[in-house]
A and B are shown apart, each in its own frame.
Chain A
Amino acid sequence: MVIAVTGLNAIDSPGPGVAVIRALREGLPQPLRIIGLSYETLEPGIYLDNIADKTYQIPYPAAGTEALLKRLEYIHDKEQIDLIIPNFDAELFNFVKLAPTLFSMGIKTFMPSMEQIDSRDKTNLVQFGIKTGLSVPQDFTMYSSNELYYAGEQLGYPMVVKGKFYEAEVCYTLEQAQKAFYKLSSKWGLPIIAQQFIKGMELNIAVLGDGNGNAISIIPMRKLYITDKGKAWAGITLEDDSLIQVAQTFVKATKWKGGCELEIMRTPEGQPYIMEINPRFPAWIYLTAAAGQNQPASLAKLASGENVEPFSKYDVGKIFIRYAWDNIIDVATFQQFSAKGEIDIN
C-alpha cells in the first residue's frame, strides 16, 4: 500500500504528519510505502529515518487546486498512490475539492465533506450547538471593533477574542478586547469572534468517524504540559464517559467522515462544552495507537473499504511526552530536496 501524508512539520507548533506515519507503520501490514508531501524544505519529517520513504514538495494551498492537482499527477505517476491523508486545516479545502478527481485517478481519501467542515467552523459554532444539542459557548462574529461593546455587554467579562483561523486572547476589559481585535484581525483577517469565557479544565478528544454516524474510535486526553503556543508537549489519556458521549453525539449528528479533534472545556460541575472542532487528526494522534486504538491505521483501512468495528476499550493513563532532537543531515541532502523538490530517505 502506498500512502501519501502531509504535515511533516514536527516543530514547536507541530503538524500531525510524523505521528500519523508512525501510527500507520505500526498498524498496517507490509509492504507499506509512505510518501511525504511537504510545503517547506525544512519540515523535520522529510529527513527522519523510518518516517517517509520519499518526500515530494507540493505547492502552498494558496496556489489553488489546479497547481496541486498537477503536482499530484506527477507524484502519482511515479508512486501509484493508494491513499492521501491531508493533515492541515488550510489545505483541506483543496483536497476535498479534488477528492472526486483523485478517486478517478485511483487515489482514495477519507475526509469530511465541505458541508461538514463548514458546519463546525468557528463562525458557525453556535448554530452547530443548536443543531446537534451539544453545549457550546455563546459567541458573536464581528467585522468591526465597534461591535465589541455589545458583545461585552451580552457575554460579560472575561470574554475570549479569537482570530479567524488561529489564536485567542482572554480579555478582562473593553480596552483589552479592542487591542486583541486589532492584533488578531491584522494577523488573520476578519471576522473576529468574541466568545463566552468558560471556566474549567481543558481537554481534547481525538475522534475517527466512519461517515455513517458511527464513531470508530474516541480517545480523550488532557494536556499535562502546554507550550507558550498552547500546544500539548505532554498529555495523558483519560477515562470519562461524558467525553465519550459528547464525541459519539457529535459523530452521529454530523456523520463525520475521517479524523478530527474536539477541544473541550469541562466546567467544575462536570458539563463539557465544545470550544472548537479541528477537522483533521491532532499532532498527538500517535497516543491513540499507544492507547490501543490506532486511528490513522483504522482510517487507512476504512478508506480501503475494509469493515472496521468500533473500538470498545483503550488504555487509561497512557502518557506522551514530546521531545526535541537535533537531526543531522548533510548539505547535499538538503540541496537535493531544495533543488529537485523530492528526496529518497529510506
Chain B
Amino acid sequence: MVIKKNIATSESGFIFNPSTGDSFSANPLANEIIQYLKEGQSIQKIKASITDRYDVDVFQLEKDLDNFVLQLREANLLEY
C-alpha cells in the first residue's frame, strides 16, 4: 500500500492531490502514518512503530488504522 507519488504533503499535515485539486488536513498522528506510507513502510511495521511509542490497545489501533486506510482510498490518495 503506497501513497500516490504525486500527492504533496506538508509538515503541518496539509495534503494536496494535484490530479483532483482536493486538499485535506491530517492530524499529527495521521500525518505521521502518511509519511510512513510515503516511505513505503508496511502496515505491520507502522502498527509496531505506533504501539512502541503510544499507550494504545492493539485491537483499537487496528480498527482505527483500517478506517484511516479506507478514508485514504476513498480520497483517491492510494496507488493501489
Contact = CB atoms under 8 A, between A and B. Distances in A.
Contacts of B6: 239
Interface string B18-37: 11110000000000000000
Chain B contact patch, size range:
under 10
A277 B59 CA distance: 53
A238 to B, nearest CB: 6
Interface in B60-76: none
A224 interface: yes
A235 B21 CA distance: 8
A201 B20 contact: yes
A222 B6 CA distance: 17
B20 A317 contact: no
A316 B21 CA distance: 9
B20 A316 contact: no
B16 A222 contact: no
Contacts of A134: none
A240 interface: yes
Contacts of A235: 21
A238 B19 contact: yes
Contact of B18 (A201, A224, A316): A316
Contacts of B21: 222, 224, 235-236, 238, 317
A240 B18 CA distance: 8
A173 B1 CA distance: 42
Contacts of A316: 18
Contacts of B18: 238-240, 316-317
Contacts of A239: 6, 18-19
Interface residues of A, number: 10
Contacts of A238: 18-21
Contacts of A224: 21
Interface in A108-150: none
B15 to A, nearest CB: 12
Best-buried of B6, B16, B21 by chain A (most CB within 10 Å): B21
B19 to A, nearest CB: 5
Nearest to B18: A239
Interface in A209-247: 222, 224, 235-236, 238-240
Nearest to A221: B21
A317 B16 contact: yes
A240 B16 CA distance: 14
A281 B72 CA distance: 36
Best-buried of B6, B8, B18 by chain A (most CB within 10 Å): B18
A320 B39 CA distance: 33
Contacts of B16: 317
A201 B21 CA distance: 11
B39 to A, nearest CB: 22
A236 B6 CA distance: 16
Interface string B21-57: 1000000000000000000000000000000000000
A314 to B, nearest CB: 11
A240 B76 CA distance: 14
Nearest to A242: B19
A316 B16 CA distance: 10
A238 B8 CA distance: 13
A238 B21 CA distance: 6
Interface in A225-277: 235-236, 238-240
10 contacts: A224-B21, A236-B21, A238-B18, A238-B21, A239-B6, A239-B19, A240-B18, A240-B19, A317-B16, A317-B21
Given A224-B21, A239-B18, A317-B8, 17 more contacts: A201-B20, A222-B20, A222-B21, A235-B21, A236-B21, A238-B18, A238-B19, A238-B20, A238-B21, A239-B6, A239-B19, A240-B18, A240-B19, A316-B18, A317-B16, A317-B18, A317-B21
